[in-house]
Structure 1
Amino acid sequence: MPRQIRFNAFMMNCVAHLAPGQWTAPDDRSVDYLDTSYWVELAKVLEEGLFDGLFLGDVIGLYDEYGGSPATALRTAAQVPMNDPAVLIPLMAHATRHLGFGLTVSVAYEQPYLLARRFTTLDHLSGGRVAWNVVTSYLQSGARSLGQDALRAHDARYDRADEFMSVCYQLWEGSWEAGAVLRDRERGIYADPARVHAVQHEGAHFRVDGVFQCEPSPQRTPLLFQAGGSTRGTQFAARHAECIFLGAPTRNGLRAAAAQARAALRDAGRAPDSARLFAMLTVIVDETAERAQARYEACRARASYEGALALLSGWTGIDLARYRPEDTLQYVDTDAGQSALASFSKLDPDKVWTVRDAVEFVAIGGRGAVIVGDARQVADELQALVEDTGIDGFNLAWVESPRTFHDIVRYLVPELQRRGAYKTRYEPGTLREKLLGGGAQLEAPHVGASYRV
């Protein structure tokens, strides 16, 4: 039996996510991101294609590392303007029955109590279809915008994140016991006070003393995603993540990243297959290979390489305006996203990247590979990637919106289904049950389950 491949759509609430310049195409609807119908129609297309979820990225701040100014990002719409993704979820959840929603929220600028309440509310309103992509932020401009002098040091952000997670687990898992909600109309008792407990936490970063306001949602703790590729980020993912998001531009790099994630899970006392691994990828598929290649060439012609420079400079914390196009990208520790620079410098030692190489690559699809062809060719490549690297699925970025996803649903999904490599129906239950196959809530040995009363 072929391995089952899973799909998430990877988007942001903005004009240009990982393909700056493509919004200029005549039939692209990216500029309609302010229209509710744009998101509702997209969610329906994804559910028709049996996508597991819509993975909503987010970032706080503007990409102003390149040239020391946000001008390039603003001119090219490189992840700016960008709106809050959380408010989109109730709209799309109401229009669908099974599609999950992954929401990126940074622990750098939040209080655990308020974040926990927001996710519990979304999990209730979606019927248990919400995931949290836990990030620690990487833009200095975001830190300044939120009143900090500078971004916290890279590893210190993860130390704070570990405590943040502990507080959230206490709120989600430990404040309300199972059976605390009675809804007894005859006696007029909604909840049993004896089974509801105050969370009392005093730590290095957070202090909480109070009962969680929300009754438990279907999943209690949302399904947990994490995308950190640094040594400290990988340790954090191994402790907390149920799904791990990998970004690597080459197959060798993806294989190495997947092996690192599985080894980290084992070192953390978890089974190596206890977390699903999703790789960043962009697919351009059409009825024929020739038509797909023609579309790809048109996308290359529209690509904004200035926008790609702004993105890559922000991801790495390095002002690429100071480098020549032919200079080699070399790894250095920064307080930005260390995994981005590692993917172009040390994750695949067989590949040497110049600045020009990396920028041309990033211009379509970010740090993930781009696969172009007809349905048969793309399916062959996806199956080979899954078999070779041991990943479970893909977070699929868009080039033309919503055409990228329409074409995947129209051409690629049926081909994978014919091969027995893609589901033909949704499983029942919450997003956690659909993706992991267990129960609706965290289960041991996941650290979060240990906080349950």
Structure 2
Amino acid sequence: MSNKQKVELGWFIPTTGDGEFIGIAPERPASPQYLTDVAKAAEAAGYEFALIPAGGECWDGFIVGSWIAAQTTKLKSLVALRPGLISPVLAARTAATLDQMSGGRVMMNVVTGHYPQDLKACGDPLYDQHDQRYERTQEFLEVVRGVWGHGGRNAEGFNYEGKHYFVEGGTCQPAAHQQPHPPIYFGGSSVAGKKTAAKTADVYLMWAEPVAWIKEQIAEMEGFLQEQREQEGLDRNLRYGMRAQLVVRETEEEAWDAAWRILSKADPEQVQSKEKLHAKTDAVGQERQMELFRQSEENKFVIAPNMWSGLSAIRGGGAVAFVGTPQQVTERILEFVDVGVTSFILSGYPHLEEAEITGRLLMPVLKAELAKRGL
């Protein structure tokens, strides 16, 4: 990496419940105390931030983020903004309030889509209009950024007129704590998603895939950025992030045993089924995860050294896991750093114990290697 961007490491807050196994009801329901315990464990382990998920079964991210901020001292919250489900001016004000209340410990995760049924249940009229949702997201973020730029009691109003939003005299009270605004993280693997990210995001997020796949995605994003420079005079740069699971143990054999154990209580028919419920989505990222799962079936779902797609048998989203010893997983993560990934959102089952385990085993090795590189 030529620009020596600092690598940041994040964890995950399980607001739908948690446990050692997936494919069964969560053994530990979400609760204020448990989510606090996970957040404190992540902070103690050396993680800098924590992703708070979004979706129909999740607790509200802004409220959880506010709670966590009050229970920790350094940990930042990566909280979802969902265009179409909240007005952009209200979103900007809510985010700025949490930014002020936490002393600048908030980051924004733009979630444009989800499963169509969840979008319908939330009242999104564009639930089945993939590209229009990204068109709306671009306008949404133009308004959010515009209102953030008109923050404070004496700010002049921000005006905007687009296809999806009309704002006259919009201001942000309070002004954001972080300047110019909290960082915007953005995921979306389709062409529409990537072009929107190129125009609006600070960090482009991907789900874990083999290094060559990630390298291709980054190259595609850099192409869209160059296209913007040439055609629109819009000179922007992006950082790149990746979401992955972790199973780290002192020996590789222990790690693989622990990985397969996560699936050990799931219904075998569900594990072996060719039709996965979570694959019924128009999300290109999910399609890519399922392609990896299918391609690796004959190799026990190993998609690359110390990378495993087995959890896609049950869960959607970023299911690919790093599996191995601290040194092995560090080596794999550094391979992604070498192609330009500087933000990692990691997690493991159960999130409390795995935060502690990775804090003890992985983080000293990984951070030492990053320090050697000045990262």
Could you tell me the TM-score, scaled by structure 1's length?
Answer: 0.69
Aligned to 1:431: none
Amino acid of the residue matched to residue 378 of structure 1? V
Aligned to 1:380: 331
In structure 2, C-alpha distance between the alignment counterparts of 1:237 and 1:138, rounded to whole Å = 17
Q: 1:263 to 1:39 in 2, by over 3 A?
A: same
Aligned to 1:202: 161
1:145 positional shift = 1.9
Aligned to 1:20: 22
Q: Residues 103-122 of structure 1: matches in 2 within 5 Å?
A: 103-122=79-98
SS at match of 1:83: coil
Give CA deviations for 1:86-139 in whole Å, capped at 9, x if unaligned. 211122112223221111121021111211111111101111111111121232
Amino acid of the residue matched to residue 33 of structure 2? S
Aligned to 2:283: 337
Q: Residues 4-19 of structure 1: matches in 2 within 5 Å?
A: 5-15=7-17
Give CA deviations for 1:24-47 in whole Å, capped at 9, x if unaligned. 6xxxxx62412x221222222222
Structure 1 position 52 matched with structure 2 position 12:
no
Amino acid of the residue matched to residue 35 of structure 2? W
Amino acid of the residue matched to residue 259 of structure 2? Y
In structure 2, C-alpha distance between the alignment counterparts of 1:173 and 1:149, rounded to whole Å = 29
Give CA deviations for 1:36-83 in whole Å, capped at 9, x if unaligned. 2212222222222222210112124xxxxxxxxxxxxxxxxxxxx432
Return 5+ residue gaps in structure 1 as ranges.
25-29, 61-80, 177-190, 318-335, 425-434, 436-453
In structure 2, C-alpha distance between the alignment counterparts of 1:216 and 1:369, rounded to whole Å = 38
In structure 1, C-alpha distance between the alignment counterparts of 2:368 and 2:314, rounded to whole Å = 29
Give CA deviations for 1:296-330 in whole Å, capped at 9, x if unaligned. 2322323467389799544542xxxxxxxxxxxxx
In structure 1, C-alpha distance between the alignment counterparts of 2:30 and 2:372, rounded to whole Å = 29
Q: Residues 267-282 of structure 1: matches in 2 within 5 Å?
A: 267-269=227-229, 274-282=237-245
Q: Which has the higher contact order (CA 8 A, sep 6+)?
A: 1
In structure 1, C-alpha distance between the alignment counterparts of 2:368 and 2:86, rounded to whole Å = 45
Aligned to 2:306: none
Aligned to 1:256: 216
Native 8 Å contact 1:11 1:17 kept in 2: no
Aligned to 2:365: 415
Structure 1 position 37 matched with structure 2 position 47:
no
1:353 positional shift = 6.2
Aligned to 1:143: 119
SS at match of 1:386: helix
In structure 1, C-alpha distance between the alignment counterparts of 2:373 and 2:28, rounded to whole Å = 32
Amino acid of the residue matched to residue 263 of structure 1? G
Q: 1:267 to 1:275 in 2, by over 3 A?
A: same
Give CA deviations for 1:384-433 in whole Å, capped at 9, x if unaligned. 3322x321132112222211111110110111233344899xxxxxxxxx
Aligned to 1:287: 250
Amino acid of the residue matched to residue 367 of structure 2? Q
Q: 1:314 to 1:297 in 2, by over 3 A?
A: closer
In structure 2, C-alpha distance between the alignment counterparts of 1:308 and 1:110, rounded to whole Å = 39
> Structure 1 vs Structure 2: percent identity of aligned residues?
22
Aligned to 2:344: 394
Native 8 Å contact 1:175 1:212 kept in 2: yes
Amino acid of the residue matched to residue 404 of structure 1? E
Deviation larger for 226-235 or 262-271: 262-271
SS at match of 2:341: coil
Say how many residue pairs are matched: 358
Amino acid of the residue matched to residue 221 of structure 2? A
SS at match of 1:141: helix
Q: 1:267 to 1:307 in 2, by over 3 A?
A: farther
Structure 1 position 300 matched with structure 2 position 263:
yes
Structure 1 position 169 matched with structure 2 position 169:
no
1:225 positional shift = 0.3
In structure 2, C-alpha distance between the alignment counterparts of 1:17 and 1:139, rounded to whole Å = 23
1:202 positional shift = 3.0
In structure 2, C-alpha distance between the alignment counterparts of 1:311 and 1:214, rounded to whole Å = 48
Return 5+ residue gaps in structure 2 as ranges.
304-308
Structure 1 position 242 matched with structure 2 position 202:
yes
Aligned to 2:171: 212
In structure 1, C-alpha distance between the alignment counterparts of 2:123 and 2:322, rounded to whole Å = 42
Amino acid of the residue matched to residue 231 of structure 1? V
Q: 1:135 to 1:312 in 2, by over 3 A?
A: farther
In structure 2, C-alpha distance between the alignment counterparts of 1:134 and 1:18, rounded to whole Å = 29
Amino acid of the residue matched to residue 365 of structure 2? E
Aligned to 2:133: 157
Could you tell me the TM-score, scaled by structure 2's length?
Answer: 0.82
Native 8 Å contact 2:13 2:39 kept in 1: no
Aligned to 1:445: none
